[in-house]
Amino acid sequence: MSYPPPGGYPPPGGYPGYPPQPGQQPGYGAPPPPGGGGYPPPAGYPGGGYPPPATGGYPPPATGGYPPPATGGYPPPPASGYPPPGGSNYPPPPGGGGGYPPPASGGYPAPGGYPGGAPQAVPGFTAPAPYGQQPPPGQPPSYPAQPGYGQQPPPGAAPYGAPPGQYGAPAPGQMYGQPGAPPPAAYVPVAAAAAVAADLPVVEPAAADLPVVEPEKLPEEAGGRPPAGVAAAASGPPRQAPAPASQPPTAAMGSLAINEQATHGTVVPIRPFDAEADCELYRKAMRGAGTDEATLINLIATRSNEQRQKIKLTYKTMYGKDLIRDIKSELSGNLEECMLALFMSGPYYDAHQLHRAMKGAGTDETTLIEILCTRTNKEIEAIKAEFKKNYHKDLEKSCVSETSGHFKRLLVSMCQANRDESTNVDMAKATKEAQDLFQAGEKKWGTDESRFNVILASRSFPQLRATFSEYTKISQRDIANSIQREMSGDLKGGFLAIVECVRNRPMFFADRLYKSMKGAGTNDSNLIRVVVSRSEIDLVEIKKAFLERYHKTLYKMIEGDTSGDYKRLLLGIVGQGV
């Protein structure tokens, strides 16, 4: 295939719609062949139209066809037409067709810019300006000026590519992300919205009149943003508040405060309370032949210890008789013991149990351990006072005379009521004392019981918990296991009682209750003592611990091991719920 002679390809005057351009060569206005696209030559190119090829005219192609050879002319267009240059904002030409691709040398640049740098000037012509830029002053434009094509938007118009009228479009003349930009047009402050709703003019305050709000001084409720209607006058990025000075983790954990969990009793004061009405019911239940035990049980199991003391005083005032003597004359056995225990004050009942444990031949060391190793400093002081008042003896001297060895030293330490009861934990001290316990027991031949006594008898329960945890890390043994291996007799029982109370006091008493009812027979004295002494302190937690360890409710256990009115009184104190 070859080109027709010059001037013979288009009809005279060119095709309609393709007016000849000034300086156009004959036949130049003919449309390109189908599939090649047709981008009209720009009007502003120097000399009109495209620069002539190196040899002039349209040389015949090397292999036939329309595209010119590599020495000049127009190279074959790509299959997709003239693609838009990379990184520019030029929209694609209408109709979906592309323009002529750039020739091998000169002409239009390849997509993404000129390969190898800026375009080279052709002799006799001025090098065109890069895409998207205006030509230098005094130089004719390289391309036709089209509205919005490579130019800035008109004044007052939104930038190209921003959705009109939506939130997030910057104001005219404002670029995206520019510091100090006002809120977008779609954002209406509260004050302005109210003014618009009331059909009033919106008055914008001057920036200089607005207060300067520092980011670090903003209230936490504002989430780090200024309140509505207040703008920050300071320009530039907001300053970050200085980070608060903090201690290293090891220093911060060196001293911790741990609060003990609250406990609850099953017996609570009744409201309203009328001591005289209760005294009349007591008198009526014990008057005449027989005794109404059900009334007595209902009255005593539903009143607190403080209310029972008022009943005792009111009964003697009203009838001139001692209520305790009347109860002793009407009742007997375990029911009598349990009911009399309920009418005793807490400190007096503990003093009574301690005196009973050391009275006569032999000593009930289990009772001594249960009371002295589990009570608080305040409770021990009250017990000592009641013991001295009612038995005219010193509790400490009585313990010394009834016990011996290291167990005697432990009871003497408990009688001082001088245990640290703070909630602070010193981790460094815990680690050191855990090492001391390890050196005094597992790591040496024999055992230094005195070192165990120093730590277990004087440190607070939270501090001992931390010490026991550190001891496990050092010795790879539990402290209770080490005590069982290193100690024996009553001293072992005393140290284990302290360890168990440190970890879980209700669980210690749940274990005591279970042992009092386990096997053949029931140790009623131990059962009564634990139920009565803990009924207003932590019997609710003891019931939960009992169920957790033995998978049986305390109520069911008591119901199966006791009987009669004695059982009904205990169950009335314990309560059926868990």
Kindly tell me the sign of the dihedral angle through the C-alpha atoms of 484, 486, 492, 494: negative
pLDDT at 334: 96
Query: Which residue in this structure is represented by tokens 């009250």?
Result: 382
pLDDT at 174: 53
Facing residues of 257 across strands? 424
Query: Which residue in this structure is represented by tokens 């000399």?
Result: 47
For the chain, the straight-line distance linking the first and the last C-alpha, in angstroms and rounded, comes to 105
Which contacts of 382-385 are long-range, i.e. CB under 8 A and separated by 24 or more positions?
A: 382/346, 382/347, 383/347, 383/350, 383/351, 383/354, 384/351, 384/415, 384/417, 385/347
Residue 42 amino acid letter: P
311 Cβ contact partners less than 8 Å away, ≥ 6 residues apart: 275, 278, 279, 282, 303, 323
pLDDT at 497: 97
Beta strands in 438-483 (DSSP E): none
- Output DSSP code: residue 221: G
Yes or no: say if 99 and 112 are a contact pair by the CB < 8 Å rule.
Answer: no
pLDDT at 340: 96
Query: How large is the angle between the packed helices 346-358 and 365-372, nearest 10 degrees?
Result: 150
| pTM (predicted TM-score) | 0.58
pLDDT at 149: 47
pLDDT tens digit sequence for 346-399: 999 999 999 999 998 889 999 999 999 999 999 999 999 999 999 999 999 999
Beta strands in 419-532 (DSSP E): 424-426
pLDDT at 289: 81
Helix or strand (DSSP H, E) at 256: strand 255-257
Closest Cα partner for 487 from 501, 499, 472? 499
pLDDT tens digit sequence for 488-508: 999 999 999 999 999 999 999
Tens-binned pLDDT, residue by residue, of the chain (578 aa): 445 555 555 555 544 544 545 544 444 444 444 544 444 444 444 444 444 544 444 444 444 444 444 444 455 555 444 444 444 444 544 444 444 444 444 444 444 444 444 445 455 555 555 554 555 555 554 444 444 445 565 666 555 554 554 444 455 555 544 555 454 444 444 444 444 444 444 444 444 444 444 444 444 444 444 444 444 444 445 555 554 444 444 444 555 555 567 889 999 999 999 999 999 999 999 988 889 999 999 999 999 999 999 999 999 999 999 999 999 999 999 999 999 999 999 999 999 999 999 998 889 999 999 999 999 999 999 999 999 999 999 999 999 999 999 999 999 999 999 999 999 999 999 999 999 999 998 887 888 999 999 999 999 999 999 999 999 999 999 999 999 999 999 999 999 999 999 999 999 999 999 999 998 889 999 999 999 999 999 999 999 999 999 999 999 999 999 999 999 999 999 998 76
Yes or no: say if 27 and 10 are a contact pair by the CB < 8 Å rule.
Answer: yes
pLDDT at 311: 97
pLDDT at 17: 46
